[in-house]
Amino acid sequence: MRFYVIALLMAIFLSSCLKQSISDAMLGSKNSGGRGKITATLSYKINGNAVNISVNDADNQNPNLYTLGCSKYVGYYSLSGLSNSGEAGFSFYTDTLTVGNYKYIGTYGDMFFISYNGTDEYVHAPSDSMSFNITSYNNGHISGNFSGVLTPLITAGNPDNTYGTPGSVLITNGSFENVPVFY
């Protein structure tokens, strides 16, 4: 019994010498590898109009409901970001996300990518495409750049949608940095 009391007192004494509490150290290790809070960003221009998304302490977002992140699903990863002007998303069709180029072209079929001020933008026409380059994937965070040519959805209808002028939406200067990947 005396041994346990001495061990408990030593643990309390030694933990008081730490610069942060044991629980804070464990949380820091779990959430950010001890690096502190990480800011994730995603920005692009849609027909010249800038969209910027920034999340401070990005690792502490709910992995099921986040402003900016990338989630793993069976057979693909989905990067998505929400802003005041709408949302952006891209699916990486792979079981293993790595540094490299991921492209979705119009001949693959219609695919939603961006909603901007109430208008949804799709890869629809054969000349449409979205290209994402992951330039780094470190410590559970991805960074890179992207661009694309999209077609606006004018009216959603069942069974047919009505689309606007093919290729009339240009996505330029796209970049993302430190976006957390949730598993």
- pLDDT per residue over 13-55, tens digit each? 444 444 333 433 333 434 444 557 999 999 999 999 999 999 9
| Same domain? 32 vs 108 | no
Q: Are 112 and 137 in contact (CB under 8 A)?
A: no
Q: Which amino acid is at 122?
A: Y
Q: Which residue has the tokens 């040519």?
A: 149
| Same domain? 31 vs 88 | no
pLDDT tens-digit readout, 69-83: 999 999 999 999 999
Residue 74 structure tokens = 């069976």
Which residues share a beta bridge with 91?
A: 78
| Same domain? 63 vs 25 | no
Distance, CA of 172 to CA of 116 (rounded, Å): 14
| Same domain? 166 vs 108 | yes
pLDDT tens-digit readout, 113-140: 999 999 999 999 999 999 999 999 999 9
Q: Are 104 and 128 in contact (CB under 8 A)?
A: no
* pLDDT bracket for residue 181 (50, 70, 90): very high
The predicted pLDDT at position 5 comes to 43
pLDDT over 70 for what percent of the chain?
Answer: 81
| Same domain? 50 vs 134 | yes
Q: Are 73 and 80 in contact (CB under 8 A)?
A: no
Q: pTM, whole model, 2 decimals? A: 0.78
Q: Give the residue-averaged pLDDT of 144-155.
A: 97
CA distances from 50 to 31, 45, 85, 114, 123 (A): 30, 4, 10, 13, 20
Q: Are 2 and 10 in contact (CB under 8 A)?
A: no
Q: Which residue has the tokens 């346990």?
A: 4
Structural domains in the chain (count): 2
Instruction: Mark residue 117 as left, alpha or beta (left: phi above 0; alpha: psi -120 to 50; beta: remaining).
Output: left
φ/ψ of 10, rounded to 5, equals -65, -40
| Same domain? 75 vs 12 | no
| Same domain? 161 vs 73 | yes
Which of 124, 125, 146, 143 lies closest to 135 in space, CA to CA?
Answer: 143
* pLDDT bracket for residue 1 (50, 70, 90): low
| Same domain? 58 vs 93 | yes
The predicted pLDDT at position 15 comes to 42
What 8-state DSSP symbol labels residue 159? S
| Same domain? 66 vs 17 | no
Residues of the domain holding 32: 1-36
